[in-house]
Chains A and B, each alone.
Chain A
Amino acid sequence: GGIITQTPKFLIGQEGQKLTLKCQQNFNHDTMYWYRQDSGKGLRLIYYSITENDLQKGDLSEGYDASREKKSSFSLTVTSAQKNEMAVFLCASSIRGGSDYTFGSGTRLLVI
């Protein structure tokens, strides 16, 4: 079986700081995603990538950058952390048909 790993698990940043979250998968999945989860709001798509070097904006891309330099990894950058921001960022991957969706365990962000 494969695994999808997010690092770090916890991230504390300062207002205005640029913060990078990483995600690695060894399923050989084509598509990778970054979602943001806020309390009571479900998951919202930030960016996704259907193959190496591809990048597609989701519903919440403003304030974020992403990079898919290799098929197995997808990183997300918070370009300028907002004070008192608190959310969980979830990475996922799937095969091209979308039926084999697997999530990582999340990165919990707190901005002080």
Chain B
Amino acid sequence: GMPVEQNPPALSLYEGADSGLRCNFSTTMKSVQWFQQNHRGRLITLFYLAQGTKENGRLKSTFNSKERYSTLHIKDAQLEDSGTYFCAAEAGTGSNRLTFGKGTKFSLIP
């Protein structure tokens, strides 16, 4: 299967709602990063995790290397959260190369 499987492919929420994205990995990964791609196409780093959980404002991410998954939770969804979210994992070969999920397109329901 795909080394990085990201779900859901698309997500629509009402303002103020909470939701989560998940990436499953086919093999043990050394680290994971989450990015948000805005409407202009620029990828912004949200989190880098080698293990555990990190929070930043309304966003929280968890990485469990042993169970081979990572999650990104969005709390109290706002218009500025719109865009496409990608997880990307490093296999630990020492190259720092990332394998990306296919992305989750996030939008706010008007």
Contact = CB atoms under 8 A, between A and B. Distances in A.
Interface of A: 31, 33, 35, 40-45, 48, 50, 56, 58, 88, 90, 92, 94, 96-106, 108
Contact of A99 (B31, B43, B86, B95): B31
A102 B45 contact: yes
7 contacts: A42-B103, A94-B96, A98-B90, A101-B33, A101-B48, A103-B35, A106-B42
B82 to A, nearest CB: 17
B100 interface: yes
Contacts of A33: 97
Interface of B: 6, 31, 33, 35, 40-45, 48, 50, 86, 88, 90, 95-103
B98 A45 contact: yes
A55 B31 CA distance: 23
A98 B42 contact: no
Contacts of B50: 99
A1 to B, nearest CB: 13
Of B43, B90, B95, B99, most buried by chain A (CB within 10 Å of CB) is B43
B96 A45 contact: no
A58 B41 contact: no
A41 B102 CA distance: 5
A103 B96 contact: no
Contacts, number: 57
Contacts of B98: 43, 45, 98, 101
Nearest to B43: A103
Contact of B100 (A44, A56, A88): A44
A40 B105 CA distance: 10
Nearest to B101: A42
A43 B96 contact: no
Nearest to A56: B95
B41 A105 contact: yes
Contacts of B35: 103
B96 A105 contact: no
Contact of B45 (A50, A101, A104): A101
A99 B99 CA distance: 14
